[in-house]
Amino acid sequence: MEYQIKEPFTSDKFQELRAGDTVLLTGSIYTARDAAHKRLVEMLKQGEPLPFEVKNSVIYYVGPTPEKPGNPIGSAGPTTSYRMDAYAPTLLDLGETGMIGKGQRGQEVKDAVTRNKAVYFAAIGGAGALMAQRVEHSEIVAFEDLGAEAVRRLLVKDFPVTVVLDSQGGDLYEEGRKAYLESRM
């Protein structure tokens, strides 16, 4: 199925989604890759406040290229998600409701997605210029020294993603592989 979901990105809005569904997201999402995730978790361990509200947030695993004049962001394709697996369960337990990236996730992340009624979306790898066209505004909110890996708040409109892990334990990669193998028999 195809859905259009607007901010706020509360978990109840993601409950009906199932692995394989396509979604157009509209609202504020945050960017963070592994260096930023590491800093966020270190801040939590030290009892420091985070630079943005994690509850009901969607984090896009991306390190965009510099923007061209007149554009809010450069190419913005997803990065490989497993590099955030060590940190994702902590943020999910704080109320993060969605993650956007590419590739499979480890079992701890899958368990945290189900436990927290969250969702993991995949964005189209190799289509960073097209993804950037869905970004209306970009601003750095933390860790400017990380350059492309700084945490940004993006305002997106009809940002296209596919549900990979749903809140009920569905996994598109496993289900798709199984369906393919069954069709070959």
CATH number, domain containing residue 132: 3.20.130.10
Query: What is the structure's pLDDT at 128?
Result: 87
pLDDT-derived band at 180 (thresholds 50, 70, 90) equals: low
List active site positions: 37
H-helix segments, 22-169: 34-45, 88-93, 107-115, 128-132
Domain count, the chain: 1
Tens of pLDDT, residue by residue over 138-155, are 999 999 999 999 999 999
Burial 159-169 (b: 16+ CB within 10 A, else e): bbbebbbbbee
Q: In terms of residue numbers, what domain contains 142?
A: 2-184
Tens of pLDDT, residue by residue over 15-71, are 999 999 999 999 999 999 999 999 999 999 999 999 999 999 999 999 999 988 889
Query: What is the structure's pLDDT at 127?
Result: 84
